Amino acid sequence: MSQSSQRRTTPDLGARLGHKYLGGPHLRIVGEHSEAEVQQRIGDLLARIQNHTATVGVVGMGYVGLPFAVEKGKVGFHVIGIEQNPSRAASINRGENYIPDVKDEELRDLVKNGNLRVVCDYREVPQMDVVVICVPTPLTKNLNPDLCYVESVTRELAKYLRPGQLISLESTTYPGTTQEIMLPILEASGLKAEVDFFVSHSPERVDPGNSRYTTKNTNKVVGGIGPNSQQVAVAFYQQTIDHVVPVSSANAAEMVKVFENTFRAVNIALVNELALLCDKMNLNVWEVLDAAFTKPFGIMPFYPGPGVGGHCIPLDPHYLEWKAREYNFNTRFIALAGEINRRMPEFVREKTHRVLNMLGVSPSKSKILLLGVSYKRDLGDWRESPSLEVIKLLQADGAEVVYHDPYVPTFEEHGVVMESVALTDELLESCTMCIIATDHQAVDYDNVVGKVPHTLDTRNATKRLKGGREKVTLL
């Protein structure tokens, strides 16, 4: 520990927390630091990281933060979550899990052993050696980045920042966020990055519901804002991730993540466009794609659907699109992909009208069962789900819409609450038609197709149907 930082240690708290506590919100480090002091600080932090005695803070205990906190806790780090939602915090502190990718018993054991607890404010930040930020990065109504969560967390951290800490952003964002937005806020504390504290970006790649690739065995890209930050950040992630991929800067790490999600958005748009064309040419797009994907090289599977949903694919490419404008650069693929993908719910509505015409029922006299409101199979996450737009469009046509989703018992959108209905024979027989919007594996599609007059299948979930194919229209 440097002399200058020793001078600023609050004696009572410093004694209580050992070497870790060096100041509260209003204490500032000033003066010059020798290279030896900086190396000492890096060495101290590396030692605590490598022998797993470091305290790790995780801000935002959601789909990304909670699995991350559990991985760190499992290898012995003392983990403190900071979560603004008191009911989420209380749930974790009772050992109760709410994220499907986290094993209930692992969370329970960590809480019981005192290795994981959650608080709702930032007062314990000085105890933390590493703080990882996993808060939302939504878009505004005009599709511009909304960094209010990242900025407010950074401002809170700056109040309590102390020498020797690593701050790492995991939220997906445009290249430049860590360097241009977070860094000035943190340095306004009076401490200097690369000298007093360290900053990195390491984008989370978790794929909710994917049991093969988890936080631990998914390669992790890490970029520091300088070589010192890079060194400690790489060491930190290496403790729990099988393979860490260092890149030369935080900007590069941010670009990696937005590119990955743009890649998906563009390829999904490509197959969605093919679905629109196949519809006009009376070709089965699913047959075409399945045959195309038998090629063992130079192609990879993507499938069409009612649109894109979740916290990533519909949002992240627009972060890059927005940033590109600063360079007078038009990201045409992103704009086009967004346009095509956002058009898909309208196409589902159009095909629904065709089915209703065939059945001789007007939309306003129809009762439509929508199967699946989550954006992805076998998950309960309905954020940005295209099903919500499909429901809205059909309700605007006067249709009575009910939904069933084994993973979403209820949801509220724009003040309207809907509840999942049970798939009873009575319900199925009372519906004019069904739309399969999410291909949950728990649904008995043979039973649904058998009992409903007609089904519009936007996911090819009825691929293995035993009978009744004539009662199914594919997207």
Ligand X SMILES: NC(=O)c1ccc[n+]([C@@H]2O[C@H](COP(=O)([O-])OP(=O)(O)OC[C@H]3O[C@@H](n4cnc5c(N)ncnc54)[C@H](O)[C@@H]3O)[C@@H](O)[C@H]2O)c1
Q: How many residues does the chain have?
A: 475
What is the rounded (10 degree) CA torsion for 343, 322, 331, 337?
Answer: -20
Q: Please say which residue, 221 or 337, places its beta carbon nearer to ligand X.
A: 221
Q: Please say which residue, 137 or 251, places its beta carbon nearer to ligand X.
A: 137
**Beta bridge pairs of residue 400:** 367
**Region 1-60 residues binding ligand X, contact defined as CB under 6 A:** 59-60
Q: Should residue 455 be labelled a site residue for ligand X when binding is judged by CB under 6 A?
A: no
Q: Should residue 262 be labelled a site residue for ligand X when binding is judged by CB under 6 A?
A: no
The interaxial angle of helices 65-74 and 104-112, nearest 10 deg, is 60
Using CB atoms, what's the residue nearest to ligand X? 62
Per-residue tokens: 364: 């306003």
**Of 470, 472, 471, 425, nearest in space to 447 by CA:** 425
Q: Is 226 helix (H, G, I), strand (E, B) or coil?
A: coil
- What is the closest distance, in whole angstroms, from the C-beta atom of residue 383 to ligand X in the complex? 8
Q: Should residue 174 be labelled a site residue for ligand X when binding is judged by CB under 6 A?
A: no
Q: Should residue 209 be labelled a site residue for ligand X when binding is judged by CB under 6 A?
A: no
Q: Should residue 241 be labelled a site residue for ligand X when binding is judged by CB under 6 A?
A: no
Among 139-147, 202-210, 277-285, 465-473, the segment contacting ligand X (CB under 6 A): 202-210
Q: Locate tokens 């130079």: which residue?
A: 298
Q: What are phi and psi of 122, to 5 degrees?
A: -105, 10
Q: Please say which residue, 108 or 264, places its beta carbon nearer to ligand X.
A: 264
Q: Should residue 82 be labelled a site residue for ligand X when binding is judged by CB under 6 A?
A: yes
Q: Should residue 153 be labelled a site residue for ligand X when binding is judged by CB under 6 A?
A: yes
- What is the closest distance, in whole angstroms, from the C-beta atom of residue 170 to ligand X in the complex? 6
Among 129-137, 176-184, 295-303, 392-400, the segment contacting ligand X (CB under 6 A): 129-137
What is the rounded (10 degree) CA torsion for 134, 135, 137, 140?
Answer: 180
Q: Should residue 63 be labelled a site residue for ligand X when binding is judged by CB under 6 A?
A: yes
Q: Should residue 201 be labelled a site residue for ligand X when binding is judged by CB under 6 A?
A: no
Q: Should residue 384 be labelled a site residue for ligand X when binding is judged by CB under 6 A?
A: no
Per-residue tokens: 328: 């007078």
Q: Which of 120, 134, 148, 312 is catalytic?
A: 312
Q: Should residue 206 be labelled a site residue for ligand X when binding is judged by CB under 6 A?
A: yes
Q: Please say which residue, 86 or 301, places its beta carbon nearer to ligand X.
A: 86
Q: Should residue 380 be labelled a site residue for ligand X when binding is judged by CB under 6 A?
A: no
- List of long-range contacts for 112-115, beta carbons under 8 Å, 24+ apart: 114/78, 115/73, 115/76, 115/77, 115/78, 115/79
The count of chain residues that interact with ligand X, using the rule CB under 6 A, is 27
Q: What are phi and psi of 145, to 5 degrees?
A: -60, 135
- What is the closest distance, in whole angstroms, from the C-beta atom of residue 284 to ligand X in the complex? 31
Q: Where are the alpha helices (H) located in 161-249, listed in sequence order?
A: 183-187, 227-238
Q: Should residue 145 be labelled a site residue for ligand X when binding is judged by CB under 6 A?
A: no
- The bridge status of strand 416-419 relative to strand 410-413 is antiparallel
Q: Applying CB under 6 A, which of residues 101, 129, 196, 204 lies at the interface with ligand X?
A: 204
Q: Please say which residue, 83 or 196, places its beta carbon nearer to ligand X.
A: 83
**Of 191, 242, 185, nearest in space to 217 by CA:** 242
**Beta bridge pairs of residue 220:** 244
Q: Should residue 376 be labelled a site residue for ligand X when binding is judged by CB under 6 A?
A: no
Q: Should residue 319 be labelled a site residue for ligand X when binding is judged by CB under 6 A?
A: no
Among 78-86, 280-288, 395-403, 458-466, the segment contacting ligand X (CB under 6 A): 78-86
Largest CA distance in the chain: 84
Q: Please say which residue, 218 or 284, places its beta carbon nearer to ligand X.
A: 218
Q: Should residue 83 be labelled a site residue for ligand X when binding is judged by CB under 6 A?
A: yes
Q: Should residue 253 be labelled a site residue for ligand X when binding is judged by CB under 6 A?
A: no
Q: Should residue 160 be labelled a site residue for ligand X when binding is judged by CB under 6 A?
A: no
- What is the closest distance, in whole angstroms, from the C-beta atom of residue 256 to ligand X in the complex? 12
Annotated catalytic, 312? yes
Strand order in the sheet with 220-224: 116-119, 78-82, 55-59, 130-133, 166-169, 198-201, 220-224, 244-247
**What residue ranges in 65-216 does DSSP mark as E strands?**
78-82, 116-119, 130-133, 166-169, 198-201
| CB atoms closer than 10 angstroms to residue 33 | 17
Q: Applying CB under 6 A, which of residues 24, 62, 190, 450 lies at the interface with ligand X?
A: 62
- What is the closest distance, in whole angstroms, from the C-beta atom of residue 103 to ligand X in the complex? 17
- What is the closest distance, in whole angstroms, from the C-beta atom of residue 72 to ligand X in the complex? 15
The whole-angstrom separation of Cα 363 and Cα 394 is 8
Q: Should residue 268 be labelled a site residue for ligand X when binding is judged by CB under 6 A?
A: no
Q: Should residue 450 be labelled a site residue for ligand X when binding is judged by CB under 6 A?
A: no
* CA pseudo-torsion sign 32, 34, 39, 44: negative
Among 82-90, 102-110, 273-281, 340-348, the segment contacting ligand X (CB under 6 A): 82-90
H or E stretch including 371? strand 367-371
Cβ distance 139 to 170 under 8 Å? no
Q: Should residue 64 be labelled a site residue for ligand X when binding is judged by CB under 6 A?
A: yes
Per-residue tokens: 458: 């936007």
| CB atoms closer than 10 angstroms to residue 199 | 26
Q: Should residue 313 be labelled a site residue for ligand X when binding is judged by CB under 6 A?
A: no
Catalytic residue numbers read 312
Please give the residue ranges that form the binding site for ligand X (CB under 6 A).
59-65, 82-85, 88, 134-137, 149, 152-153, 171-172, 204-206, 208, 311-312
